[in-house]
Amino acid sequence: MCTCGGGGGDGGDVGRGEGARVQGGGMAAQKTVLYVGGLEETVNEATLHAAFIPFGEIKDVTIPLEHAAATDDGAAKHRGFGFVEFIER
């Protein structure tokens, strides 16, 4: 996992979890991990991080890599999605 950032691509799909109900009717803390889908191959953890800085303090950025898939120059390819984890407040 990396705490570097970045942005790019055409936006992609974005979804954010909501707080879960807990026994007694209260709300648990809101989830702080954001799924970002539809990433172009040129997007890396640094660019994804930079794209989400305006929305809060970032704890971690992860873009899962394909297993046994590499580009012509030997670099691993990512799977087209990533996760941005924000610091809880």
- Per domain, the residue ranges of the chain are 13-86
Q: Which strand (E) or helix (H) includes residue 87?
A: none
Asked whether the CA dihedral 62, 67, 69, 71 is positive or negative, the reply is: positive
For 15-66, the pLDDT digits (tens) are 444 444 445 555 555 679 999 999 999 999 999 999 999 999 999 999 998 8
What are the backbone angles phi and psi of residue 48, rounded to the nearest 5°? -65, -45
Domain 13-86, CATH homologous superfamily name and number: RRM (RNA recognition motif) domain (3.30.70.330)
**DSSP symbols for 7-26:** --TT--EEEE--PPB-TTS-
**What pTM, to 2 d.p., does this model score?**
0.60
How far is the C-alpha of 64 from the C-alpha of 45, rounded, in Å?
10
Quote the distance between the C-alpha of residue 5 and its chain's center. Answer: 10
